[in-house]
Amino acid sequence: MQYNFLGRHILVEYYNCNSDKLIDPDFIEKHMVEAAVRAKATVVTSDFHHFKPYGVSGAVIISESHLTIHTWPEYGYAAVDLFTCGDINPWLGFDYLEEIFESERSESIEIPRGMTEKIRKFSHVPLGEITFKPM
């Protein structure tokens, strides 16, 4: 069975992490970028912010879409998204971050983004082949 889509989007809840790993924006940025590299994505830019009293938010823009994170160190919890297009495997990034944050429990779902047959169906013009073209 097969259907075609442009992107793979993984939504992750990392529970019961090491809270110390969720506090430092530089640490988190470094490892979010590395997660993108592990997934064989091409990093375009990254932008991370520290919120008072604690918590970090940030995004890594990749040629193949993005990775984002929001952390709640006080609860040992982080919400992470890994959205990739093309023939790369976002789960490699997922595995890496699970280890880095020392998450004892995680939950995740993968949602296909941009189903090509729907894009074609809703269009008023012929679209030809619908694929992700790496830059």
Active site residues: 65, 70, 85
Number of Cβ within a 10 Å radius of residue 9: 19
- Point out which span in 20-28, 32-40, 93-101, 116-124 binds a second copy (CB under 8 A): 116-124
**From candidates 36, 66, 93, 98, binder to a second copy by CB under 8 A:** 66
Contacts with a second copy: how many residues (CB under 8 A)? 47
Determine, following the binding rule CB under 8 A, whether residue 9 of this chain makes contact with a second copy: yes
Residues that bind a second copy in the complex, under the rule CB under 8 A: 6-7, 9, 11, 13, 15-16, 44-45, 47, 49, 51-52, 57-59, 61, 63, 65-66, 68, 70, 72, 74-77, 79, 81, 83, 85, 104-105, 107, 109, 111, 113-115, 118-119, 122-124, 127, 130, 135
